[in-house]
Chains A and B, each alone.
Chain A
Amino acid sequence: MIQREQIRNYLKNYLVRCQLNSEMKSFISSLLCLKGKIFNDESVFTWAEFYYYSSLIFESSDEQQVSHVACSSAIELLVLATDILDDLTDEDNQGEILSKLTYPQAVSLSSILLMESFHIIGKYKSPHSLQAVVRQLRAAAYGQADDLSFKISHNHIPTEQEYFKHIDRKSSSLTRLVFHLNAPVEEIPLWNEIATYIGYSGQIGNDARDVFDDTKNDLRDKKATLPLIKAIEASQAKDGGWLLNQLISSDLGINHDELMTIREYIKRTGAIKYCEILAEIYLNKSIQLLKRYQETSVYKEGCSNLIAFLGDDDN
């Protein structure tokens, strides 16, 4: 975990040196301690380390170490910015982020974090790499805008195929961004495929977990997540559409008992199990491609480290 300490130190020093006011610095430090973030000792997957291990697949010399650590920190800040925007869009007021910040603070902070991450990446990477970052962030932003209307209604229930198309833009664009910062142009199609599978796995897993998370509004907002799409499909086939009728007719924001009933129903359709299995299948697909790449790679140890980080049982 040496890299984790190095990234933490980089971010701490960066926060001391940058010209931000102390309140904003304190918010950033506090948000980086949240679940899944780099200052939190309990975190298993962090975006900073995901970038760090990904970068070692392409170049692992000592001279590049400073750049790897700096850009890992930039990716951590960038994803934190998108997390804030995500929670603002979803109005997750009870969530970990918006329970600490007012809306104006959150808007300002996400803008600062984006600019800081661009600033760091621009310092260590070519203009071409920065352009690749912007391209993928643009796709993610479009996906986030689509997310506002990607909902279940009586008129339209999105299909599983539409869900995958949607998360490809909203979520996999961020995993692609990580690889695009280092991958040679001729290898981009392969890394796009690997990144897409990792993105699918992460988003499907999150959507399955969020069904049971009181701080998330996916069910209340009738967001077309895969567990809900599949549970409605099962309900339409076997139960005359009970689930859709309940969703449309209930206000799950105020009726907690109804929310609990719907959660249990979704679980009992098998939709959660389906999502858990799919999330693992897509992760395995990415790992298989990485292992094939490793066979001819100069940086075999780098490949092994990324595979282990992603959670391969056999590695």
Chain B
Amino acid sequence: MNQKLWELIQELADKSQIGTAELAVAGANLDSEVSSVFNKHMSKGDVVNAPIEWA
């Protein structure tokens, strides 16, 4: 349960902007108990305010 969520957050953390459709598709791959909380949190804003520019 946790690993899928973490991988998804990692994927989204690298993006400066995330569209609603992209979020919906991403959340659909999670278990229902996880996706409802994930969607609620993501509707409040992006994963991070500004992604890290990884070296």
Contact = CB atoms under 8 A, between A and B. Distances in A.
Contacts of B50: 268
B33 A267 contact: no
Interface of B: 1-2, 5-6, 9-10, 12-13, 33-34, 37-38, 40-41, 47-52, 54-55
Contacts, number: 58
Q: How large is the interface on A (under 10, 10 to 19, 20 to 34, 35 or more residues)?
A: 20 to 34
B37 A274 contact: no
B25 to A, nearest CB: 18
Nearest to A160: B2
A285 to B, nearest CB: 7
Nearest to A226: B2
A83 B54 CA distance: 39
16 contacts: A230-B6, A238-B54, A239-B54, A268-B13, A268-B48, A268-B52, A270-B9, A270-B13, A276-B41, A280-B37, A280-B41, A281-B34, A281-B37, A284-B37, A285-B33, A288-B33
Interface of A: 160, 230, 234, 237-240, 242, 265, 267-270, 273-274, 276-278, 280-281, 284-285, 288
A278 B9 CA distance: 12
Contacts of A281: 1, 33-34, 37
A274 B47 CA distance: 9
Chain A interface SS verdict (over half)? helix
Contacts of A268: 13, 48-52
Nearest to A234: B10
- With a 10 A CB-CB cut-off, give which of B5, B38, B41, B52 has the most chain A CB atoms: B52
Given A239-B52, A268-B51, A278-B2, A273 B37 contact: no
A296 B1 CA distance: 29
7 nearest CB pairs, A to B: A270-B13, A270-B9, A238-B54, A268-B48, A268-B52, A270-B47, A280-B37
